[in-house]
A and B are shown apart, each in its own frame.
Chain A
Amino acid sequence: MNQELQSEIDHVRELLTERSASLVNKQSIFKAIELKALYDRIPDIPLQSRASFGQAVNQLRKEIQNLIDQTEPKQENVSSIDVSAPFTPNCPVDKRPRLISSQLGSQHPLMIELDQILNIFTSMGFYIVESREIDDDWHMFTSLNFPEDHPARDDYDTFMTIERDEQNKPWIGPAHTSSMQNRILSEHKDDLIKNLPIAAVIPGRVFRNEDVDSRHEHTFYQLEGIYVSSHVSIGNLLATLKAFLERYYNRSIEVKTQPFYFPFTEPSLEIIMSCPFCSKTGCRICSFTGWIELLGCGQIHPNVLKLAGINSPDYQGFAWGVGIERLVMIKYAIEDIRLFESGRLDFLRQFSIKDNR
């Protein structure tokens, strides 16, 4: 190999060595066009020096790799620090750790809205109980009047674990917050005797094994509500939900119903509300229909009450479940449900105090 080729390689070595020092991702040095150019030249080198040139280029690659390996920090070499101190010795005041501007901070929109929703229901006399993220078959299905092998179980594309409980049933990623109904009813049934209603809302994360798109997520938040007392009508249910919706959207809202089926309510209904975004004139949010199918609800099935030790028909009640994402998407005209769990600051910081500079 002649002098000229050798010096060419030396030049690239110098160049890459210098450049790698400033690179964060050191491995990216191997994408350097200068290195690629050397490889590209191999076929054009006269036969007698081609082999040695090729070896020299490979050798260069190895050297660079070694260089990177050496500069890569090793965990054992990290120095210990005084973990109780607030900053490092000799640190000038302007380089010390500090909180960042509150203007950049943001609560997650689902949590902002959930807080507001919970406030409304608290003001209406409901207490709050959270749901679980792993539960058992009994709470997810059986206690809610879904017998084993009932076809209604198919409507809940439920996640199940490989691990099994003592009944040899898989653990379940609850597909609805209704999984808490039996617990709350059992725990508070004595309130009924004292003539107090059972009134609870249950926020929680629920899961559905379904394909994800702009309107469907496998993970979302639901708010369940239950109300049990000795005089509960279907109209009480409709009035309660209407009152909530009007407070949440801060405008008057019409609700209408459509029959539905849930094993744990009878009758079961779906609530359709007038679009709060366009007030029924038709817009993107309501698919230009003026109405939005919002939530499922109904009068609690007597079997559910009985399974919790509550006498039916001495006591009746109603229950509902509403998706939080849906409420929030309608409120802010958010187009894609996947944004909520995307972890993107582009999305999240829209919910911080606006910096208008």
Chain B
Amino acid sequence: MKISLKLIQDIVGVDQKLPINEADIIERIGAQIGGVEQVDQLKTIYQQAIIVKVIEAQKIARSDHLNLCQIDDNHLVKEVDRLENGNIQVVCGADNVQKNQMVVWLPPGSVIPVSIKKNPIKLTSRTIMGVVSHGMLASLAELAIGDNHQGIVVLPDDIPIGTKLIDYLNLDDQIVDIENKMFTHRPDLFGQIGVAREICGIYGLPFKSPDWYRQDRKLQSDRHGKLKINNQIESSCLRFMAVILDNIKIESSPLWLQSYLSRLGIRPINNIVDVTNYAMMITGQPLHAYDRDKLAPSNKDDNLLELFIRQPKEKEQLKLIDGSIIELKNTDIVIADSQKALGLGGIMGGLESEVSDQTSSIVLECANFDMYSIRRSSMEHGLFSEAVTRFNKGQSPWQCPVILAYVYDLIKQICPNVELASEVADQQSPNLKHIEEVQTDLDLIRLYLGLTLDDNNITQLLNNVELNARIVDNKLIVTPPFYRTDLNQSEDIIEEIARLYGYDKLPQILPQRSIVPPKINDKISIRQNIRKSLVAAGANELLTYSFVDQKLLIQSGQDIDNCFKLANALSPELEYYRNLILPSLLKKIHLNHKAGYDYFCLFEMGKTHQKDLFDQDKLPVESERLAIVYSAINKYAKNNYQGPAYYQAKVYLDYLLSALGLDSELLISRPLINSQLESQWRSLAQLFVPQRAAIINYKEIILGIIGEFNLSLVKDLKLPDFCAGFEIDINQLLKIKPENTFSYRLLSKYPRIIEDLTINAKHDMSYQQVRQKVIHLIYQNIGQDMNLKITLIDIYQDKILQKPISWTFRIQLESYQRTLTQKEISDMLESVKTNFNDR
């Protein structure tokens, strides 16, 4: 929303002078109205432009379009070469240049205004076709006032020669662009009057709306039976006012009008369109003008124009003023005559009934539409206009009469012969809501502000912005003026007071609180534990997007039909919600090896979703996952490891569980190959080579799957051979995690025995089976009341794989009861060995 400080000052009026310091105004706007996006100093753009008189203009013989001109600037510009007669020579390419015209001259050294923002062009004195030309004579387009390139701008004769353009057009102005978002609930601030009022409010100055801006002012007409409104959708069109005006002469607008429109970002078109746009910029109320002669009369009466506000007919089309043709939708508000659609109500007019150079009679519309209907319709067609921006914030329907009267006045200024040719039609929907007074408890105001403002202070702040505030019985009563639709409850009034007083002046005090300690969030705690443990083991935590592409899902063997798909994805790479974390992690391996990292362990914790799982609130289940992957390039792996990468992943798994305080004896790695799996784990299983993967069980609970990745994934994602990882469900982990990470066992008073034991077990016995059997046998031999620690120190397997495998364990043993004898120990070891060999 652009505002012109010059216009604001005009509206505020001479009695109520705003501070001279415009920088201060802009800062206060930021602090108390809304974020300032940009400030344009028009003064610097136009400071050198001068109004001059063309003394001589002659075609240059060798050129088809250039004119050699002499201009008189009243000797204002010093640093320029003059002719003997004191005039300045300028070559001008415009075919409308003539002797005795008043025109705008941009002297050498000035920058062409239209070029300033893109690619500034600085004018010089230069030789064109053998003659010297100083600066240029400017067109409106070059001055960035409209887009008229048709020749230079010619001004009225009565301007004194040498007048600065700045003075002539009030260009000593600053255009402040305030973020629209701030005004979502303030439709009145989409007009300069509204902002002017607020600026006075924040300076503590009483604002008085312009005399013409009063609720009781309306346009009167003594013509009857010429115009009728037929509103068939009163829920969407809340008020529709219109009047027919004759004796219209379409021309370019006066320069002051064009200049104000351009600086507020509106392109000047012609006097009628410009006036409606100007009124919108001043008041916030969009208007529309139709060419009366292009509208069909009523079916019943040729003298009557009947306008319909209706739903579209089936497959009805409309050509809009921007040239596009749309098929109208059920949600649209159609403005129509007896035969055809004329415009998309509140959004954009139609091309066919547009005001053109030939127009001599217009229908002027000032209407109000339901903000939600406007937004629906605008979104449906992707149509956004200045009118949409204003209507979808909910303009007040009570401002229609006064604004219609205002526009008529403006038209009369520009087309003095204009005549009212119909009654002032005014159709009001029964859905129109009156603006009600709001009562607010003074105690609530004090509570919100955290301070006590005296009553006068409060009412003064509000009355400065014309809110009709008064205090009765410890209650503040506000009767919002006709243009304020946003004040409905106490909090709205408190916002006004706080903002106008200044948020930054409110006392900043911390809330008083009880010292009850906040409860711990287990999920966050366990993730913190996991994170710290893994980092201590050299792993790097990654975060990757929750969205993945179809390709990755297919590469990792996933069923895309079970993944949530975005309807409005930013790109195909971000189309699906991921159902697993590991694939995203695997995708980050190649780039890091390529960047020179030979080996690393990556992990990520995140949420995953799949379409067939819902929780008790009927929301999709959010599974909390941890994924880890270890990867090393071939050269590094060859020099540092022997055996499958699987074991490297397993080191991390064992470490992690023990870091969380889980007993690793209860961890069971069940081969994935030939295993039956519940459906929720099947998608994860797809990632692995079954011969090199295991289901991670802790007691009977499945935590996840660990393994090496299937070969097509390895190939597609350019993974090195030595690469393995796992994904586990953190919620499952939470179920089994002990309260304490550490557990304490009594220290024994008796000596500790340390012995190595090698047993030969059949080749098809797994490590887990061997180990459990060893433990079982030791306890059986020597008693349960022992502190036993056994560590695998070596595995030997013959080249002939069917031969038994030798397992060597280091055994640490101490009794809580007695000193163990050497004989007891050697008997025990012998017994364990024999027991294995016997089988």
Contacts and interface: CB of A to CB of B under 8 A. Distances in A.
Interface of A: 24-25, 73-75, 78-92, 95-108, 110-111, 115, 118, 122, 125-130, 132-136, 147-152, 154-155, 159-163, 165-166, 170-171, 173, 195-197, 199, 205, 207, 209, 211-212, 218-219, 227, 229, 231-236, 238-240, 242-243, 256-261, 263, 266-267, 269-270, 293, 299, 301-302, 313, 316, 340-341, 343-346, 348-349, 352
A97 B640 CA distance: 9
B643 A352 contact: no
The 5 closest A-B pairs by CB, nearest first: A88-B643, A100-B538, A233-B450, A343-B588, A89-B797
A99 B652 contact: yes
Contact of B511 (A151, A236, A346): A236
Nearest to A133: B607
B33 A233 contact: no
Interface of B: 30-35, 181-186, 371-373, 375-376, 379, 392-393, 441, 444, 447-451, 489-492, 494-495, 498-499, 503-504, 506-519, 521, 523-524, 528, 531-532, 534-547, 564-570, 574, 577, 585, 587-588, 591-592, 595, 597, 599-602, 606-607, 609, 611, 618-620, 622, 634, 640-644, 646-648, 650-652, 654-655, 668-673, 689, 691-694, 706-708, 710-712, 718, 720, 766-769, 792, 795-797, 805
Nearest to B693: A83
A133 B622 contact: yes
Contacts of A270: 35
A327 B545 CA distance: 20
B375 A92 contact: no
Given A219-B545, A232-B511, A233-B447, A95 B640 contact: yes
Contacts of A81: 644, 646, 691-692
Contacts of A211: 570
Nearest to B566: A159
Contacts of A238: 503, 506, 508
A108 B541 contact: yes
- Main SS at interface, chain B: mixed
Contacts of B648: 97
B447 A239 contact: no
A231 B516 contact: no
Contact of A162 (B566, B574, B634): B566
B577 A161 contact: yes
A100 B689 contact: no
A80 B510 contact: no
A160 B540 contact: no
Given A134-B619, A159-B569, A233-B447, A267 B495 contact: yes
26 contacts: A78-B692, A80-B673, A81-B692, A83-B672, A87-B647, A91-B643, A98-B651, A125-B514, A133-B577, A133-B609, A149-B376, A151-B392, A151-B393, A196-B516, A218-B545, A233-B447, A236-B509, A259-B499, A259-B503, A261-B186, A263-B185, A313-B490, A343-B544, A343-B585, A343-B602, A344-B592
Contact of B510 (A150, A243, A258): A243
Given A97-B647, A100-B538, A234 B503 contact: yes
A301 B494 CA distance: 12
Nearest to B377: A149
B543 A345 contact: no
A235 B452 CA distance: 13
Contact of A110 (B392, B444, B543, B565): B543
B566 A151 contact: no
A134 B564 contact: yes
B595 A151 contact: no
Contacts of A161: 564-567, 577
Given A75-B711, A88-B647, A235 B508 contact: yes
Contacts of A79: 691
Contacts, number: 355
B689 to A, nearest CB: 5
A91 B183 CA distance: 72
Given A104-B600, A161-B566, A197-B513, 10 more contacts: A83-B706, A83-B766, A100-B537, A127-B518, A127-B519, A127-B521, A130-B524, A205-B607, A234-B506, A343-B544
A302 B494 CA distance: 12
Contacts of A227: 511
Given A104-B600, A233-B449, A239-B510, A219 B546 contact: yes
Contact of B375 (A95, A151, A293, A316): A151
Contact of A261 (B183, B392, B535): B183
Contact of A340 (B538, B543, B607): B543
Contacts of B542: 108, 343, 348
A334 to B, nearest CB: 14
Query: Most A CB atoms within 10 A — which of B31, B392, B495, B692?
Result: B495
A107 B473 CA distance: 61
B441 A108 contact: no
Nearest to A95: B642
Contacts of A25: 718
A223 to B, nearest CB: 12
B567 to A, nearest CB: 5
A80 B767 contact: no
B766 A84 contact: yes
Contacts of A98: 651
Contact of B184 (A83, A128, A148, A152): A152
B524 A102 contact: no
Contacts of B376: 149
Nearest to A341: B543
A258 B31 contact: yes
Contacts of A343: 542-544, 585, 587-588, 591-592, 602
Given A89-B796, A260-B181, A100 B448 contact: no
Given A161-B567, A345-B600, A105 B543 contact: no
Contacts of B33: 259
Contacts of B607: 132-133, 205
A335 B517 CA distance: 38
A99 B618 contact: no
Contacts of B599: 100
Given A97-B648, A132-B619, A344-B592, A90 B536 contact: no
Given A88-B642, A233-B447, A150 B375 contact: yes
Contacts of A242: 508
A79 B801 CA distance: 12
A86 B540 contact: no
Query: Most B CB atoms within 10 A — which of A152, A212, A229, A343?
Result: A343
A134 B495 CA distance: 33
Query: Most A CB atoms within 10 A — which of B371, B565, B611, B651?
Result: B651
B441 A313 contact: yes
Nearest to A254: B504
A78 B570 contact: no
B392 A102 contact: no
Contact of B492 (A84, A86, A155, A266): A266
Contacts of A266: 491-492, 494-495
A267 B618 contact: no
B655 A99 contact: yes
A133 B546 contact: yes
A99 B641 contact: no
A160 B575 CA distance: 11
Contacts of A256: 31, 504
Given A80-B691, A84-B767, A107 B535 contact: yes
A91 B511 contact: no
B182 A259 contact: yes
Contact of A91 (B494, B565, B642): B642
A310 to B, nearest CB: 14
A75 B641 CA distance: 22
Contact of A86 (B31, B528, B531, B654): B654
A107 B603 CA distance: 10
A198 to B, nearest CB: 11
Contacts of A269: 503
A125 B602 CA distance: 34
A159 B32 CA distance: 33
